[in-house]
Amino acid sequence: MALKSFNPYTCSRRFITVLDRSEITKQTPEKSLLEPKKRSGGRNSHGELTIWHRGGGHKKQYRTVDFRREKKGIPARVAAIEYDPNRSARLALLHYADGEKRYILHPVGLEVGMTVQTGEGADILPGNALPLRFIPPGTQVHNLELSPGKGAQVVRAAGGAAQLLSKEGDLALVKLPSGEVRRFGVDCMATIGQIGNLDHENVTYGKAGRTRWHGKRPTVRGVAMNPVDHPHGGGEGRVKGNHPQTPWGFPTLGAKTRHNRRTDSRIAERRKP
């Protein structure tokens, strides 16, 4: 996969880049795996705007992705690789031997026609899912569960990969993409390999309209406002004297917001600043 650029026949075309979609083999999604997706526009149940800068964007349908990987012992053939508008990763459409169809996140190296398996006896190959107990240390994994049977919640974005460092007793040490080393139960499921679409982070939108296609509305800087509208506002000339704050005076931009003592013991090493 690579990035495509264009001749600068307009101002925005000079900088815009798009992903080469040559790896996508099927243009229309599997209808049986689609769900409607309602857009809130950043409003809550009372119609009040609670999340700013959301709205508009192209209409989407949600693709039901199998994050549990619970069909153990049943081989599946990769039928297609598809685009998903709801996430940065691509999807792989699996046709199981019993006739069921499911989506999984597409890892690097998984091609159409290959076979994917789930469970203890699966080989250490991209796309196969096993409990951490049966994965050798040093292996790259993604799609990790935080609790056995709950479904994958960690390492699901394009290009993401965690590394299994070691196992001791009922716990395994895994280094996450952020640099954090975290303890996982050895019965938690993980998928082998690195998630594909590696160039996603290198895409340049090139124009404001492309961000609107994604449902992102314009953001006004606080320093450009008046003092009545934002703590950063006002002043003769440009002023950088305030600590970074939200419009309501709460710390932001680097202020720690994590308060979860219940899972603090699972963190073996904090991520590097």
Q: For the residues of 45-108, what is the DSSP string, one character each? A: TTS-B-STTB------EEE-B--S---TT--EEEEEEE--TTSSS-EEEEEETTS-EEEEE-BT
Neighbours of 69 (CB within 10 A): 23
Instruction: Say what the pLDDT of residue 6 is.
Output: 94
Q: Which domains does the chain have, with CATH numbers?
A: 3-201 (2.40.50.140)
Residues 173 and 268: beta-carbon distance below 8 Å: yes
β-pairing verdict for 267-269 and 144-145:
unpaired
CA distance 151 to 244: 36
Sign of CA dihedral 8, 10, 15, 18: negative
CA distance 29 to 105: 14
Q: Which residues of the chain have pLDDT under 70?
A: 1, 273
Instruction: Say what the pLDDT of residue 1 is.
Output: 63
Instruction: Say what the pLDDT of residue 66 is.
Output: 97
pLDDT tens figures, 156-205: 999 999 999 999 999 999 999 999 999 999 999 999 999 999 999 999 99
